[in-house]
């Protein structure tokens, strides 16, 4: 064991009110390489000083426009990327802590079965040359978790729980529809009985009726298997539906974090307000509303972000201070944190109620 493992003061396992995962100042910079000799000419700051925590059993949503770094954060948590800096403190079942950002190799492998990932595209995330049993059991084989006989039982069990018929275990992915493939992806993530599941746009590619089925399934599984979700999506209605707390990201930085209800009805960051305003509401009677906020321009370039508050060129409340000073994430009470200089003064409108 390395020094990365810190002995927790509290001895009672898991139920000690401590978060399952604590992320501190997570940074993920990708170098921009130029020229023949690989000179590094700059960095894309895909995630920059991101901090949040996830309590056991809750669902944390991560929203933002494409390119805001939400997927990067998710991939850092499953350690598909090694973060440039920062820490990811994961609390093990026995109450001890480990910093996932620091561990590597063999040691890291022991945590891989605890933190799993569900991907967006049910077509490209399943190997067409492996049958369903091979796909789901691969992680069990790699980690030597079960004997071959138990493995088959285990796979059948998780398939049943995910609404798939175990008889179809020897079929290949092409024989399944989009919704069923997503169920296979979910079964693959859950077969190791993980504690945290990172769902990266897990329902974005699905049709309306299938999406409802998968969302219900994920909610049932969360209850039955004691799961904790980090749910990454750009779809604000899906996030509202499934999440307890929601974090909003803009150009690699966290700009607001609050429980879902507060964030939707009483946002404190102008970016959150404009996101809420842009969501189309499936009710034509609300169509002739006034004062919809339209964001001008495009998401800033993360390799060359604007000065001060990254959002200021698009913000309709921006003032001189926003151009000069970078706002810090501040706690506004009730676990509502926001990175805006004028959070106290602005009166922002939340989602338009029916």
Partner 1 sequence: MADNNNILVQVQDLKIHFFTNEGTVQAVDGVTFDIHSGKTLCMVGESGCGKSVTARALLQIVHRPGKIVAGDIILHRQTSHNQTEEINISKLEPKGRVIRSIRGKEISMIFQEPMTSLSPMYTVGNQITETIMLHTRVDKNQARERTLEMLEFVGIPRPDRIIDEYPFRLSGGMRQRAMIAMALSCNPSLLIADEPTTALDVTTQAQIIDLMQGLQKDYDMGILFITHDLGVVAEIADNVAVMYLGNVVEYSDVYTIFNDPQHPYTQALLRSIPKVTATREKLEVIRGMVPSPFRRPSGCPFHPRCTKAMPICSQVEPKTINLNENHQVHCLLFDDSIKNPVREMAS
Residues forming contacts to partner 1 in the complex (CB under 8 A) are: 65-66, 177-180, 207-213, 215-216, 219, 234-238, 240-242, 261, 264, 274-287, 292, 294-295, 297-299, 351-354
Contacts of 192 by beta carbon, 8 Å cutoff, 6+ apart: 113, 114, 116, 139, 140, 143, 145
* Separation CA 286–CA 330 (nearest Å): 34
Q: For residues 89 and 186, which CB has a smaller minimum distance to partner 1 in the complex?
A: 186
CA distances from 266 to 63, 116, 207, 257, 349 (A): 16, 32, 30, 12, 7
Widest CA span in the chain: 67
Q: Report, in Å, the least distance between residue 36 CB and partner 1.
A: 23
Residue closer to partner 1 (CB basis): 102 or 234 = 234
CB of 104 to partner 1, least distance (A): 35
Q: How far is the CB of 118 from partner 1 (least distance, A)?
A: 17
Which of residues 3 and 280 has its CB atom nearest to partner 1 in the complex? 280
| Closest distance of CB 62 from partner 1, Å | 14
What does the radius of gyration of the chain's CA atoms come to, in whole angstroms?
21
Q: Phi-psi category of 344—alpha, beta or left, where left has phi over 0 and alpha has psi -120 to 50?
A: alpha
Which residue lies nearer to partner 1 by CB, 137 or 274?
Answer: 274
The contacts of residue 162 (CB under 8 Å, 6+ apart) are 183, 184, 186, 187, 190, 217, 221
For partner 1, which is the closer residue by CB, 112 or 222? 222
* Closest separation in Å from C-beta 287 to partner 1: 6
């Amino acid at each position: 064991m390395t020094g990365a493992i810190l002995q927790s003061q509290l001895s009672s396992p898991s139920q000690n009110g401590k978060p399952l995962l604590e992320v501190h100042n997570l940074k993920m910079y990708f170098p921009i390489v130029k020229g023949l000799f690989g000179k590094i000419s700059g960095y894309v700051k895909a995630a920059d000083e991101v901090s949040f925590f996830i309590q056991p059993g809750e669902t944390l949503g991560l929203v933002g426009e494409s390119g805001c770094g939400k997927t990067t954060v998710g991939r850092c948590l499953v350690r598909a990327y090694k973060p440039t800096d920062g820490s990811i403190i994961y609390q093990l079942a026995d109450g001890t802590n480990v910093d996932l950002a620091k561990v590597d190799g063999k040691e890291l492998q022991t945590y891989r079965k605890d933190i799993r990932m569900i991907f967006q595209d049910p077509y490209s995330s399943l190997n067409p040359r492996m049958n369903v049993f091979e796909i789901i059991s691969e992680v069990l084989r790699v980690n030597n978790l079960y004997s071959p006989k138990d493995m088959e039982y285990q796979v059948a069990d998780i398939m049943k729980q995910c609404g798939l018929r175990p008889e179809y275990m020897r079929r290949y992915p092409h024989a399944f529809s989009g919704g069923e493939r997503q169920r296979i992806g979910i079964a693959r993530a859950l077969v190791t009985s993980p504690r945290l599941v990172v769902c990266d746009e897990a329902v974005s590619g699905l049709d309306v009726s299938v999406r409802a089925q998968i969302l219900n399934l994920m909610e049932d599984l969360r209850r039955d298997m004691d799961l904790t979700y980090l749910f990454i999506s750009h779809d604000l209605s899906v996030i509202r539906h499934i999440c307890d707390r929601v974090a909003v990201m803009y150009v690699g930085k966290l700009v607001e974090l609050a429980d879902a209800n507060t964030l939707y009805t009483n946002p404190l960051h102008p970016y959150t307000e404009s996101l809420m305003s842009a969501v189309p509401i499936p009710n034509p009677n609300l169509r002739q509303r006034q004062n919809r906020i339209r964001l001008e321009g495009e998401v800033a370039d993360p390799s060359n972000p604007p000065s001060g508050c990254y959002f200021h060129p698009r913000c309709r409340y921006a003032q001189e201070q926003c151009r000069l000073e970078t706002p810090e994430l501040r706690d506004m009470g009730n676990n509502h944190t926001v990175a805006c200089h004028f959070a106290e003064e602005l009166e922002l409108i939340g989602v338009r109620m029916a």
